[in-house]
């Protein structure tokens, strides 16, 4: 591969991305990211849940606790997707006594083109 062609392609991509970023506002980008994260959270909530012996009121399955929220920081807002319970990350990544049982990353990898296409479509429509 010719290095000049490669660098020219990279420069073209960089200028196109800069043009897209100039046309969009930060809030629109956050809205688009939030919509993609909500799609992922819905897919995780739809994963099959093993039957549990716990039937008392107030019990929620760990997969139902995946949520999307925004953190307002000094440098702007940040869209986050994650577990709403303490033991969610432990289940996802494992511990020294228990192996990992990931849900977030496999669901993302399985459906990432769907989420990316939806976010691109929303960016083209203005992020609403």
Q: Is 28 exposed, middle or buried (0-12, 13-18, 19+ CB in 10 A)?
A: middle
8 domain residue, yes or no:
no
pLDDT in tens, 58-87: 677 788 888 898 887 766 678 888 888 888
Computed on alpha carbons and rounded to an integer, the radius of gyration of the chain in Å comes to 19
4 domain residue, yes or no:
no
80 domain residue, yes or no:
yes
Task: Check residues 77 and 120 and name the one with the higher pLDDT.
Answer: 120
Instruction: Name the H helices within the chain.
Output: 3-23, 26-45, 88-93, 104-125
pLDDT in tens, 2-31: 555 555 667 777 877 777 776 667 778 888
- Angle at alpha carbon of residue 31, lines to 30 and 32, rounded to 5°: 90
pLDDT in tens, 82-103: 888 888 888 888 999 999 988 8
Number of folded domains in the chain?
A: 1
Domain assignment of residue 42, given as a range:
25-48+58-125
Label residue 102 left, alpha or beta by phi (over 0 means left) and psi (-120 to 50 means alpha). beta
């Amino acid at each position: 591969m010719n290095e000049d062609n490669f660098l020219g392609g990279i420069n073209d991509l960089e200028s196109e991305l800069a043009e897209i970023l100039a046309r969009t506002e930060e809030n629109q980008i956050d809205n688009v990211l939030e919509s993609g994260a909500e799609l992922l959270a819905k897919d995780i909530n739809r994963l099959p849940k093993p039957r549990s012996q716990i039937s008392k009121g107030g019990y929620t399955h760990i997969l139902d606790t995946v949520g999307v929220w925004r953190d307002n920081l000094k440098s702007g807002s940040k869209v986050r997707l994650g577990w709403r319970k303490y033991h969610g990350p432990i289940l996802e990544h494992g511990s020294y006594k228990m192996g990992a049982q990931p849900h977030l990353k496999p669901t993302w990898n399985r459906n990432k083109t769907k989420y990316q296409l939806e976010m691109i479509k929303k960016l083209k429509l203005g992020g609403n």
